[in-house]
Amino acid sequence: MKDSVKAYIDHLRLPGVAFMSIKQFNTKYKTNIAENRSLEQAIDKARKEMGPNDFLVHNFAFAPVKVELKEEKEPSLDEMLAEEVEDEYEEVCDDCKKKHGEKDCKKLALEEKSKSITNEKDLKHLVGFHSGGEVHLMKGKARYISQLKAYADGDSTAEIRMLDGSKMSVSELRPNVDSLKELFSAFPSGPHLVVCD
């Protein structure tokens, strides 16, 4: 049994592997691992912290977690009101007005678009331009980064080639100059997100 739990954990440690519950793992790989919600939560949390393209190096407990049963009590009026006020003031995304936790729409859109890229070097050099709710991707080749620098220096004729092969004038994307400067200082360790005006 311990070996099959280890197989589950080892499977989810790999970069680019989507999270699955123990129940889903059992179904897919014909195993019989006892469900362990705390283990699943620990792995899911680690994946979110490390990102989709890193190997998980965390130590995860195999042993089932003891659950203490607590007597449920009716919440007081003060507790219910405090909860309502907290729900009302939860942070929402400025772009879509939905709750995303710490990530905003721009980062989520970049992650979604870059899922198909499996080459680690390509992913590291990937540049996403967020404009009007859309993300346009570009490989961060030196000649395109030079064109972006030229645009930041005032060259309105600078052109780049997008990931889909189409040529585009940088001025069409209208990248924010401060966002471009952040890209230049962090390049190549990406993927990068450039906010467009």
Q: Give residue-wise pLDDT tens across range 12-21.
A: 888 888 889 9
Residue 4 predicted with pLDDT over 80: no
Angle 158-164-169 from CA coordinates, rounded to 5° = 15
pLDDT in tens, 75-122: 676 676 666 555 544 555 555 555 544 445 555 555 565 555 665 666
At 24, is the pLDDT very low, low, confident or very high (cuts 50, 70, 90)? very high
Average pLDDT, the chain: 74
- How far the first Cα of the chain sits from its last, in Å, is 55
Q: Which pLDDT band, with edges at 50, 70 and 90, does 138 fall under?
A: confident
**What φ, ψ does residue 195 adopt, rounded to 5°?**
-85, 135
Q: Is the pLDDT of residue 67 over 50?
A: no
Beta strand segments in the chain, E: 126-131, 134-139, 159-161, 167-169, 192-195
What pLDDT, on the 0 to 100 scale, is given for residue 65?
42
105: amino acid identity, one letter: C
Asked whether the whole model's pTM tops 0.85, one would answer no
The mean pLDDT of 175-185, rounded to a whole number, is 83
Residue-level pLDDT at 68: 42
Q: How many helices (H) and strands (E) does the chain have?
A: 9, 5
Position 120 scores a pLDDT of: 66
Looking at residue 71, its pLDDT comes to 52
Tens-place pLDDT, residues 33-66: 888 888 898 888 888 888 888 888 888 765 444 4
